[in-house]
Amino acid sequence: MNITLKIKRFNPELDQQPHWESYPVEVEPRDQLLDALHKVKWYQDGTLALRRSCAHGICGSDNMRVNGKNRLACKVLMKDIAHEGDTVTVEPMLGLPLIKDLIVDMEGFFAHYRSVMPFFVNDDPVPADGRERLQSPEARERFDEGTKCILCAGCTTSCPSFWADGQYVGPAAIVQAHRFIFDDRDQAADKRLEVLNEQFGVWRCRTVFNCTEACPRDIPVTQLIGEVKKALATGRLD
């Protein structure tokens, strides 16, 4: 099929503002959007800047706004977003500072991520046999959804509360916090909940659901946020 990719371009050395540019591209229906972007970069304009790595929905580096919604370019098939002759719009994620073309500065996003202590905390001695700290399947299941997160930022950068000023800790950080808060082997749930109870913590979530819709890993993000809110409101982790 022949389609047009309308891409928001910005070169900080030349441009005052981002602007749209259009590129005609021939694609197969089962091509990824990432393939189409490569056709532009490799054969039409090598200056197009975008992040990507794995091309298989694992590294989380190619999230962008496609026809107005956050998607991973490598998980979007052309047949699902365009027909012959259509125009597909591609923009950088919203709410983070623009660096160039489709690349945004992720530092603010990762600062929020780091703020919730996204690592396992347990000061008990290592089990004598040197093996893992065992856990029941049911206890493991409790935080399973959060383990699927690939930190693509699609949720946080689709959230109006985050767009306001970037101070809201954001759904991705809450999902990561949830993964450890509800892990019965971890010992720092109180500290994480303290962070999430602050001014720009979990209560900034207004249950808009954009995050859940944007998640390429089908994580029920809003539900996990609700579980953290409930833990704060009740003081219980059940």
The footprint of ligand FES (CB under 6 A) covers 52-55, 57-62, 72, 74
Distance separating alpha carbons of residues 56 and 78, to the nearest angstrom = 15
34 counts as binding ligand SF4 under rule CB under 6 A: no
Spacing of C-alpha 36 from chain mean position: 22
User: Of 33, 74, 96, 211, which lies in the binding site for ligand F3S, with binding defined by CB under 6 A?
Assistant: 211
CA distance 15 to 43: 23
Interaction of residue 181 with ligand SF4, rule CB under 6 A: no
Of 27-35, 50-58, 98-106, 216-224, the segment contacting ligand SF4 by CB under 6 A is 216-224
The residue type found at 133 is R
The partner in contact with residue 207, picked from ligand F3S, ligand FES, ligand SF4, none with C-beta cut-offs of 5 to 8 angstroms by kind, is ligand F3S
| Residue 228 interacting with ligand SF4 (CB under 6 A) | no
List the single partner that 209 binds among ligand SF4, ligand FES, ligand F3S, none, CB under 5 to 8 Å by kind.
ligand F3S
Contact call for residue 159 and ligand SF4 (CB under 6 A): no
Determine, following the binding rule CB under 6 A, whether residue 118 of this chain makes contact with ligand SF4.
no
Which of ligand F3S, ligand FES, ligand SF4, none is residue 175 near (CB under 5 to 8 Å by kind)?
ligand SF4
Place of tokens 């979530």: 205
- C-alpha to C-alpha distance for 104 and 9, rounded to whole angstroms: 12
Distance CA 154, CA 62 (A): 10
216 binds ligand F3S (CB under 6 A): no
- For residues 89 and 76, the answer to whether their CB atoms sit within 8 Å is no
Residue selected from 37, 76, 205, 224 as contacting ligand F3S according to rule CB under 6 A: 205
What's the chain's Rg over C-alpha atoms? 20
N-to-C CA span, the chain: 52
Chain position carrying tokens 């891409």: 7
| Integer CA distances (angstroms), 57 to 71, 139, 148, 162, in order | 10, 27, 11, 24
Least distance between ligand SF4 and beta carbon 38 (Å): 22
Using the rule CB under 6 A, is 171 a contact of ligand F3S? yes
Binding positions for ligand SF4, rule: CB under 6 A: 149-155, 171-172, 175, 214-217, 219, 221
